[in-house]
Amino acid sequence: MTIREPSHWEGTSSDPNDEQFGHVVHETSIEDVGEYDAVFVGEPYDGAVVGRRGAREGPTEIRRELASVKSHHFDDGPLSTLADLGDVAFDDVTDDVAAVQSMVTDITADVYERGSFPVFLGGDNSLTVANVRPLLDRDVSVGVVSFDAHLDCRDPVDGPSSGTPYWQLYEEGLDRLAVVGARHFETSTAYADFLGEVGGTILTAEEVGRDPLQTVDFALDSLASCDVIFVSLDVDVLDETAAPGVSAPTPGGITTRELYRMLHHVASDSRIAGFEVVECAPPLDDDNRTAKAAARAIAHFLSGVTFDA
């Protein structure tokens, strides 16, 4: 499996003072990813979706929206030193999702090994396995904070899917999972019981609504024993009014403002090793609302990370 060269990033403003992501994201190669604070890796794949497909077009639209987002955060200043590696090429992949996960793992492992902070642009949730798996190969305790309406810990009795990543990762050695923004009546009892049995934490959208920062602090506290934390954002955690372009949009989700506050806060934890945005499906979107929300989620997250000097 190979990487396609990244598309060219351009800022859309004619004002020379309007520095946008399109002005500060540089094209790079796998050999040079370690020279940047963070690197984008596109994963245009939706062959494992449980529900409506379209997430394979997510990386392109997220980049397009992010390119026109201003680079300045009022508290943390401007972002810079960012790069784009390009997209994983899925032209000749098999229908075997487990094989796809294995092939993508080879690429994500290479990115981690070169000392880069990866931001994976999905694509469907099945590739969370490939994005987290290299961390499990280290001699450390690994946890995940998953912003998601669902638990994604189905038993892959018929093979892996976008609903099975955390069952798979627990089987491979994941230590802890905290799901933030889970919605009532969106998960079967068996999967809630499974997460309880393995020591996972479920924090509902209602809890987020009461106090977003307290909720995400609780999530981090539940991962206190972990040496390394990966952060996953499935944009269906947002209410369907903010993110209609997902596989399974439903009412009762969190707001973009709540999400952005939590992402900025969780990113400041020194144990964070990587970030992904999954399940943005542009063909299902309305006026690119979901891609716009996803792009700004990345900006808020990156503004919270303290990169090594």
pLDDT in tens, 177-229: 999 999 999 999 999 999 999 999 999 999 999 999 999 999 999 999 999 99
* pLDDT tens digits, one per residue of 11-46: 888 898 999 999 999 999 999 999 999 999 999 999
Could you read off the pLDDT of 139-169 as tens digits, one per residue? 999 999 999 999 999 999 889 999 999 999 9
Burial class (CB in 10 A: 0-12, 13-18, 19+), 198: middle
- Half-sphere exposure of residue 155: CA atoms within 13 angstroms, side-chain side: 8
Peptide bond into 123 cis (omega under 30): yes
Between the CA atoms of 285, 47, 85 and 102, what dihedral angle is there, to the nearest 10 degrees?
150
Measured between alpha carbons, how far is 272 from 306 in angstroms, rounded to an integer? 10
Token pair for residue 293?
A: 């929300």
Whole-number Cα distances in Å, 166 to 26, 66, 136, 249: 33, 28, 13, 21
Amino acid at 51: G
pLDDT at 1 over 70: no
What gap in Å lies between CA 249 and CA 289, rounded to an integer? 13
Domain ranges of the chain: 3-304
CA-CA-CA-CA torsion sign (294, 297, 299, 305): negative
Q: Give the DSSP H or E segment for 196.
A: helix 189-197
The residues pairing with 271 across neighbouring beta strands, listed in sequence order, are none
d(CA 127, CA 38): 19
Q: Does domain 3-304 have CATH number 3.30.70.890?
A: no
